[in-house]
Chain A
């Protein structure tokens, strides 16, 4: 790494919905990990990952908690994937008034995936570890950016954060990747 450069590690969890068995071990583990004291209880309603399931339609979509939205979106779309119909909410990571996902059952506050922050850090997020069917996989990527001044960095982070808020982290990362390849 060159001096003056700062590297940011982007942690991501990839989801292969075809591999999901609907076992909800991820929900169990996430809720136990965030229980106080740790592992003292299980309650999927507190999990930061929820599996949208509809057995009759063969729909199994694990979703991790993202940002809170104050209103539900209107004019939602439906998607046709492999002959099955999915509602937009099936993939949505928002804590939203239209459903009770990612809302702390006692306080009503939104829940957010923290990638199992811990000291010392876990080798990988717990939901990934317990996902034996291999539907969830962990990925770490290093993003390098040239930074000159601390102020500038802060400004840049704020800017990035607002982009993330607007477009979602994936979209921002994809764009940055494209830019870094000089396209």
Chain B
């Protein structure tokens, strides 16, 4: 019997209209867990680097993490992986809600989609019944509208649907995949649209078994309670009305302007009233005690839900207030647009107009006010009309196509991907490494376990450490106790901290745990539910595999290194690993490059950031080393420079 996983993948070829239920290799679970881990293996093996992201040979993989659908609380993430036309690298995204669990109950761990349908289709999965169905009648429909229509058509309200909107259909790079009010951003909707797959509807009524029922349930219930009761888990932004942090510290417009004293009591009162006058409720994801999503019913607009910083991005890009975000977010979400990158693309276009690089002729009949302009450009982008066709390729690609100095306005991307609009003074070494080397394209997908800043007094530091269950090793407590000034910390400690932060995300994204109860949340203190000291137990109880901390750490290293192998094969090199030049005002190129070299060596990568043969072999990735050598990406000489991968946590 299979435990925690179903043991089956669904293989769909949209070009041939072929559907296959394929038994998965149990060795993959042992080595890569599931979710992003196994997806990376599939992409490495089946999509050679010559394949263009828009080729039918690119794969789009929806996976339910290993723990998804078990009693483990807040394990509900669906992971979406493909190759991105924006970065030309592996694209990684996640969404919460109910889709992943339903996929497990239908009897599948993942759906692997190849090819392109001749015209718009949707996929319907009901246990063993799987159909590719016509979706031409859904053309142009909004994301929640599509979900609703599909449910009506299938006469089943319990079907879980993930869909793209007009943005995905038109291959807008910022297109998302939406499910309920959750959304997978960072460049996956564009590939779903390219494959002409409008939606996936899934319904399952099968049992998902676990290996050690009583032990698992007991541990799960204790964590469920902890998640619900304290304030150490979930998204505090769902309830904290004081949002001075983002507004005073993050940059507005095209990630350019700081407004250090923007926040005020009067404003907070006004915004709180807007929120509560229009909020229907707060909702959560499958089997989670939190309710991070605020569902807003704004007059005349489609009902929408938002989480976290998604509440601020539109009005900050437009120099407006929360009411503007409430007005536009429902519309943008129906189109299926990522609310992190899209506002930056629009603000970038308006900056080019102001700078005279684009002119009024590029924006025929555009309104004069910021509000009107954002709506105008949103429409142009999702329809790929006029200038919108260029902007739909995201900031970096648009800047290149526009030329005439537009490249200088592409100042907030790394690896061609829009970053959070953060502009600070002095370099933070750990953040330098995370933004430079992260391959999940956003700082939120790598930071999160070690606190962002030191605490001011020894007493406070001691109090923090005394309740700190999460560190995988005592050394992290020592680093924190000795840490007094942000940039005064040893390079060795910096490397270890970044590694731990990253480890948690790779584990979450393979098991399907939500970052708000795990990888992203520990940095704020208060007792995060999941950490390196209890996840191994949860995996062991659920799967019956004997997983301890060392084995889990090595699994993280294996998955992380394989993702790097996928990307170096597609050309990723040291020169690409640069945070935006203006992320910090004060930079020190020599120190940064030294730190980067140390980190590469620590990871067991060579000076170009390519994993060495020795590293790959130590992680059971000898096949990747062979492949990289065959392609002359690794040579015996270049490959031998750095040593073994970093020591596993004890």
Contact = CB atoms under 8 A, between A and B. Distances in A.
Contacts of A37: 213
Contact of A52 (B157, B205, B295): B157
A130 interface: yes
Contacts of A22: 283-284
A35 B213 CA distance: 10
Contacts of B98: 24
Given A56-B144, A60-B281, A40 B209 contact: yes
B73 interface: yes
Interface in A1-34: 18, 20-25, 28-29, 32
B208 A58 contact: no
Nearest to B289: A132
A41 B207 contact: yes
Given A42-B69, A58-B297, A24 B207 contact: no
A43 B289 contact: no
A53 interface: yes
A55 B151 CA distance: 12
Interface string B205-237: 111111001101100010011011100000000
A44 interface: yes
B303 A58 contact: yes
Nearest to B286: A24
B278 to A, nearest CB: 12
Interface in B157-181: 157-158, 180-181
B148 interface: yes
Interface string B242-285: 00000000000000000000000000000000000000111111
A38 interface: yes
Nearest to A43: B207
Contacts of A39: 71, 210, 213-214, 216-217
Nearest to B280: A58
B284 A21 contact: yes
A83 B288 CA distance: 28
Category for how many chain B residues contact A: 35 or more
A132 B144 contact: no
Nearest to A22: B283
B291 interface: yes
A45 B284 contact: no
Given A21-B284, A130-B221, A132-B228, A41 B289 contact: no
In which size bucket is the chain A interface?
20 to 34
B287 interface: yes
A52 B156 CA distance: 11
Interface in B385-424: none
Given A32-B71, A35-B213, A56-B144, A41 B284 contact: no
Given A52-B157, A55-B180, A132-B224, A41 B210 contact: yes
Contacts of A55: 144, 147, 180-181, 283, 295, 303, 305
A42 B205 contact: no
Interface in B355-380: none
B105 interface: yes
Contact of B281 (A18, A25, A40, A129): A18
A48 B228 CA distance: 23
Nearest to A25: B287
Contacts of A159: none
Interface of A: 18, 20-25, 28-29, 32, 35, 37-46, 52-56, 58, 60, 100, 105, 129-130, 132-133
Interface of B: 69-71, 73, 98, 105, 144, 147-148, 157-158, 180-181, 204-210, 213-214, 216-217, 221, 224-225, 227-229, 280-289, 291, 295, 297, 303, 305
Leading 4 A-B pairs by shortest Cβ distance: A132-B228, A132-B289, A45-B205, A39-B213
17 contacts: A21-B282, A21-B291, A28-B286, A28-B287, A32-B71, A37-B213, A39-B213, A42-B70, A42-B105, A55-B181, A55-B283, A55-B303, A56-B144, A58-B295, A105-B205, A130-B221, A130-B289
